[in-house]
Amino acid sequence: MQIDKYKIQEFNQGHAQDHKRKFDFAASSQHNVEGVLQKLVDFQIGIPSWALGTGGTRFGRFSGSGEPRSLEEKIEDVGLLHALNQSSGAISLHIPWDIPNDYKAIKALAAQHGLKFDAVNSNTFQDQPDQKLSYKFGSMQHVDKAVRRQAVEHNIEVIRHGVELGSDSLTVWLSDGSSFPGQLNFRDAFENTLESLQEVYAALPDDWKVFVEYKAFEPNFYSMTVGDWGQSLLYANKLGPKAYTLVDLGHHLPNANIEQIVSLLLMEGKLGGFHFNDSKYGDDDLTTGSIKPYQLFLIFNSLVDGMDARGMNHATSLAWMIDASHNVKDPLEDLLQSVEAIMIAYTQALLVDQKALKEAQQENDVVRCQEVLQEAYRTDVRPFVAEARLRSGAALRPLQLFRELKVRENLINERGLKTVATGL
C-alpha cells in the first residue's frame, strides 16, 4: 500500500483552520519559531525492522494481522510511517533477520520511499539454525577462541551488508555475561570482549562508526559484560575514535539518571547513538513517552544542551532510533505515537531558556531553575510539531489519518490475516 500525496493534502485542508488557530496562538508567545520549525523538519528517527511486527514476551506472542512478511514489506511499512509524519526517514536492519537478496533492488525500494539505511545490527544473542558453535555461554567474551572468532566474523559480515546498502554504522549489543557468581572471571570476560571488538573495529570502513550498546541485566542476571555506560565507555575509549557508546533508555537499572549519563557522554564526545522506548521496571520496550514523559524531556534537554555546547548538528550527529516491541498495540500505530512523543520532547527542550537557566544556576536559585525547565515542559508544543509536518508534506494528525485511510485493513487485504513478521 502507498499513501497518495493528495489524500494527505485533502486531510490537511480539512484540519487547516483548526491547526492555524492553535499554531498562531502557540507561536505568539515564542521567539525564534522558524528556527525551531526547521530543526523539527530536519529531525529524523530511525525505525528498526523488528518493531514492525507484534513483539511478545517470553510467555507468548499474540501476532497481529497484515504484518510484513519480508524485508521489502518492512521497507513498505516504514515508508507508510514516513509518508504520514515525514520524521521516520530511516530503517535499521538486523542481520541475519533482514539479509537482502538483491542490494540494488532493496536500495531502490528504500529510496522510492525516501528512506535511508541507519545503523546495521548484529546478532550473537541467539543461535542460528546453520551455526557451528553455540553462544549459550556468550559470544565475544567466550572462553573458546573459536566461538569468539565466529562472533567477530558475523559482525564483519554485517558490516559488509551495511556497506552494500549505504549504511555507515554498526550497533553491537551483546547479551554476554553470567547468571551465577563464579561462572566467569570478570577480567577475562572483559579482555576477551575487548579483543573481539578490536577485530571488528579493524574491519570498519574509514567513514564508519561502531556503537557499543550496554544493558544492565537480561538475559544474564548476575553480570553483563557490557553492563553500563562506564563499561561501554571503557570499550569505546580503548577501541578508538570510530567507537561510541549507545544509550538505550530501557537498559538501565530503575531510576538511573539517564539525563546525567547522556550529558557526560556528550561532553566526552563519546555518545554515538540513542534508542528510544519507555519502561516502568526494566527493558519493558513500551511506547516512548507513555510512562515517563518528563524524564524524556529532561533527557532531551541534556541532549540539546550537550550537542549545542559542542556545535553538533542535532539531526545528523547522533543515530536516533526507536527500539521497542509491541505486544498489545498495532505496531505501526505504536511507532506513530513514539515518533510524536519524541518530537514533542525535542521541541520542549528547544524551548528551554538556556540563558535564564544558566543564570539561575550561577545564583543557586533552585526554584527558578525548576521554573525555567517546567515552563518549557508545560508548554503545549503539539502545534509546532504539526506545523513542521505540514511544511514537510506530512499529515497534521498522522495517527488519525492512518485510521481514516484504513491502513491496517489494507495491509491485511494485501498480506493476509495470519502473517508473522520475519525475524522475531
Binding site for Mn ion (CB under 5 A): 248, 275, 323
How many other C-beta atoms lie within 10 A of the C-beta of residue 72? 16
Q: Which is nearer to Mn ion, 121 or 192 (CB)?
A: 121
Residue that has been written with the C-alpha cell 553483563 in this structure: 224
Q: Which is nearer to Mn ion, 107 or 275 (CB)?
A: 275
Residue that has been written with the C-alpha cell 531558556 in this structure: 353
Shortest distance, position 323 Cβ to Mn ion, whole Å: 4
Q: Which is nearer to Mn ion, 50 or 201 (CB)?
A: 50
Shortest distance, position 167 Cβ to Mn ion, whole Å: 16
Exposed, middle or buried, 386 (CB in 10 Å: 0-12/13-18/19+)? buried
Q: Which is nearer to Mn ion, 77 or 248 (CB)?
A: 248
Shortest distance, position 174 Cβ to Mn ion, whole Å: 12
State the pairing for strand pair 177-178/223-224: antiparallel
| 113 DSSP 8-state letter | T
- The edge-to-edge listing of strands for the beta sheet with 243-248 is 116-117, 90-92, 46-48, 319-322, 271-276, 243-248, 209-213, 169-173, 120-121
Shortest distance, position 288 Cβ to Mn ion, whole Å: 12
- Given CA atoms 146, 148, 154, 156 in this order, what sign does their dihedral have? negative
Q: Which is nearer to Mn ion, 38 or 231 (CB)?
A: 231
Could you check whether the bond before residue 219 is cis, i.e. omega within 30 degrees of 0?
Answer: yes
| 287 DSSP 8-state letter | P
Shortest distance, position 418 Cβ to Mn ion, whole Å: 29
Shortest distance, position 173 Cβ to Mn ion, whole Å: 6
Of the candidates 145, 96, 146, which has an alpha carbon nearest to the alpha carbon of residue 125? 96
Shortest distance, position 28 Cβ to Mn ion, whole Å: 40
Residue 78: strand, helix, or coil: helix
Shortest distance, position 74 Cβ to Mn ion, whole Å: 17
Q: Which is nearer to Mn ion, 325 or 347 (CB)?
A: 325
The gap from C-alpha 188 to its chain's centroid, in whole angstroms, comes to: 31
Shortest distance, position 254 Cβ to Mn ion, whole Å: 17
CA distances from 248 to 145, 254, 282, 366 (A): 29, 13, 11, 30
Shortest distance, position 255 Cβ to Mn ion, whole Å: 19
Q: Which is nearer to Mn ion, 12 or 92 (CB)?
A: 92
Of the candidates 47, 2, 46, 55, which has an alpha carbon nearest to the alpha carbon of residue 420? 55
Q: Is 320 left (phi over 0), alpha (psi -120 to 50) or beta?
A: beta
Q: Which is nearer to Mn ion, 209 or 397 (CB)?
A: 209
Q: Which is nearer to Mn ion, 103 or 125 (CB)?
A: 125
Q: Is 423 left (phi over 0), alpha (psi -120 to 50) or beta?
A: left
Name the phi and psi angles at 416, rounded to 5. 110, 160
Q: Which is nearer to Mn ion, 80 or 324 (CB)?
A: 324
Residue that has been written with the C-alpha cell 549489543 in this structure: 173
